[in-house]
Structure formats: structure tokens, C-alpha cells
Amino acid sequence: MRKMLKNRVGYLSGAPRISTLPEAAVSGPRTRVLGIVKGFESLGWKVNSFIAGDRVPRKWVTEESEPAVNSKAWKIFLIDLVRLGLNFVNARKAWNELNGKVDLVYEYNAALGSLGWIFKEYEIPWVVETHRPLFYEVEAERQNVFLKKLARERELKVYRDCDLIVTITEALKDILVTQGGIPAEKVLVVPSSVDTDVFNPETAKPKRFFDGFTIGFVGNLYVWQRLDFLLEVLRELRDEGLDISLTVVGSGQMQKEWMAKALDLELAGNVKFVGQVPGNAVPDYIAGFDVGYSGHQQLQIGTMYHSPLKIYEYMAMGKPVVASAFADAIEAIKDGETGFLFQSGDKESLKAALRKAYANRESLPEIGSKAREEIIANYSWNARVEMMLAKIQDLLVG
């Protein structure tokens, strides 16, 4: 492979719901895309982007799209056909727009297709980033893909054909190697990061809904977030006399069910479901929390391989985090110093963590300051992209 001489990268995404628009409903990928692009640019790279979600009707990427992708099988089948068609067309559009302007393409992986293969045909290095092994998820966790066999085949072909795979956790790398048959040396782990200029408590305008101790959650309301579990614990702690409330920022398939559960538990006056907010407003809402919550549960298919961006965003905003003790949280959070860990699915463990946070509520600003210092020192996008580029360069000259 030729040595890369020019710092020109094409950022690609063929997923029609992943967008850089502030109102994008799929918020985690939006943050990751913007972070990686900023990391490249900060290191002197010229970034030319082809992001399909920025080129589709607005309603495809906002909260309006959620019912469609979690609906009846025939609708999901039609959506899969749209995905296939768009990927075929967009790969050629991307090539026509970026040909001669890039020396490397970096692609955010999408279901049922890719854009980077056409660049690889012309010997342009192709890096693929994946956060979720879709071929693995569709068997249990992911119900918004109908053509599961085809999705698996196409995804694994992308992993085989590209030059390097970037992923977010060692657990996910292990799945790609053991379940996908990908050589270990082809997979680079680049953990989640955060833009500390955007998530900055000094520039935020706090949005607060309760006078008392407030737990906050930001993210898509999917079943594995286990806010139902948190609501049950909140009810029991309030019965013990703890003045604790909850603010939920985000939307998703479980929103109606969890809102109904809050009513059933007689928590209507202590739980605020804000709904989806623009991405650039998220820091203001986090600024109104006392602690942030990240309570991922063990997935149905086994290994917990997610790297919740919310952990890093809470910490960057100077908020201690109450988090389930999976590998990513254990690495980022010093229990009792920058946050409070609990065992996923263990109600008594979560109660103990929240009691500890509540008892130390006067010290939370100090704990939060340490959390932000940790993020600034070790979790910047610049550092992540610099590490990744060193690996890419090794491949190019190897």
C-alpha cells in the first residue's frame, strides 16, 4: 500500500438516520461523527464529508422517524429496500464528489451497505468505524432490520474488505474476532471521547426542573437503558424519605411505557420527561442535574460491548455519574471519587449508590470537578484521533 503524503480525509456515512443536524434523534452517533471530524481538523487534516443523513428529508432524522423504524415487519422491509437503494446511489455520489480530494476515507458503518468500497477499488485506504456488531445484534437486540441474513453478509464483507476497523471497546473487538472471523490485528480500539469545549459547565445555562436532589439521564430511550428499574428504585428511596427527583432528556421506543410507569408509581410530580432536544442544548440540561445516570443492563445476547457517550458527557460537564459497573464505566469512573458504581440489575446496589450520592450532595460539585479534570486529561477527541492516525500510517507504510 502506498504511503499517504497528503492530509486529506473523506468522512463517509451511508446511514440515512445519522445526521449532524442539531435535532437529529440518533444523538450518540451524531456526537461521535462531529468529534472524529473535529479531531482530524485539529491535527491539520482537511475533511470532506459525505453524510447521507444530512441529505435526506429532515423528518427522516428527527424524532418523527422513530415510529417507522420500530413498526410492523412490512414497513421495516420497505425501509431495508430504501437503505439498499440509497447505499448503491450514494456510493457513486460520494465518489463523484470526493474523487481527487481525499487520500483516505473514514466511514461510519451502516446497516445494509457501505460507501467506502468504491474508494477501495481505486486504492484509497478505507477505514470503517463500528459501534455495534449489527450482524450479532439482529439475532436478539435489533428488531429494525428485516433482511437479517443479507445484512449480516454485507456487514461482514465490509469488515473483510476494508483496511482497518475502528471500534469502541475491547469486548466489541472480541466479538468481531471470535464471531465475525476478523483478524485481531485489523481491529483498533478507540474508546469514546467528548468535546470539552462543547460540554463545558462554564458556558452552559442550566435548565433545572426540581429544587431537590436531581438525577439526570440523557439518551435514546431503549429497553437496555433500564429507566424502569431506576423509577422503581426512585419510588422506594422517596418512601424512605429521600427527596430525589429525575429528569429524562431524550426519546425512543420505551418513552410512553416509562412515562406510564412513572404515573403508576405516583412519581408524576418527581419525574420530568423532557423529550428530544437539539444536540447543542444537551449541555444546558446536564448542567441542571446533580448526578448523571447510565444504567445499561446486560444485553440479551450476552456481552456488554457498548461505550455510553453519556458517561463522558456528564463528567465533562462536572457531574458525578451513577453508572452500572461494566468495563467502560469502571475504566472511566473512580468509584466514590468521580462517581458511584453499582451492579447492573441489582436494585439494592443501585439504592446504595444513590444513597451515597445523596448523603454526599454537598460535596458533589467537588466530585464533579475531579470528573471533568479526568476527562480533559485523558478523553479528548484529539488524542483519540492522533492514536488512530498512527495506526493507519503504520498500515500505509507496511
Domain with CATH 3.40.50.2000 in the chain: 8-193+380-397, 213-378
What does the pLDDT look like over 351-368, one tens digit per residue? 999 999 999 999 999 999
Strand arrangement of the beta sheet that strand 46-51 belongs to: 46-51, 8-13, 104-108, 126-129, 164-167, 187-189
Give Cα 76 distance to the centre of its chain: 23
Helix/strand number for the chain, H first, E second: 15, 12
Whether 136 shows a pLDDT value over 70: the answer reads no
Question: From residue 164, how far is each of 71, 112, 208, 225, 372 by CA, in Å?
Answer: 34, 19, 44, 30, 31
Residues 32 and 29: their CA atoms lie apart, in Å, by 5
Residues 398 and 396: their CA atoms lie apart, in Å, by 6
> For residue 1, what pLDDT is reported?
45
Q: Dihedrals φ, ψ of 213, to 5°?
A: -55, 125
CATH topology (fold) of 213-378: Rossmann fold (3.40.50)
Please give the model's pTM, rounded to 2 decimal places: 0.82
Q: 3.40.50.2000, 3.40.630.10, 1.10.3210.10, 1.10.8.60: which CATH number matches 8-193+380-397?
A: 3.40.50.2000
Question: From residue 232, how far is each of 237, 258, 266, 322, 359 by CA, in Å?
Answer: 9, 11, 11, 16, 20
Whether 304 shows a pLDDT value over 80: the answer reads no
Whether 150 shows a pLDDT value over 90: the answer reads no
For the record, the C-alpha cell of 196 comes out as 470539552
Identity of the amino acid at 93? K
> For residue 324, what pLDDT is reported?
93
> Which of 168, 62, 52 shows the shortest CA–CA distance to 113?
52
Greatest Cα pair distance, the chain, in angstroms, is 67
Query: Which distant-in-sequence residues (6+ apart) come within 8 Å of 302 by Cβ?
Result: none
> For residue 341, what pLDDT is reported?
97
Q: Are 45 and 73 in contact (CB under 8 A)?
A: no
Q: Which string of DSSP letters, residue by residue, matches 332-386?
A: H--BTTTEEEE-TT-HHHHHHHHHHHHHTGGGHHHHHHHHHHHHHHH-BHHHHHH
Q: Are 226 and 246 in contact (CB under 8 A)?
A: no
> For residue 81, what pLDDT is reported?
84
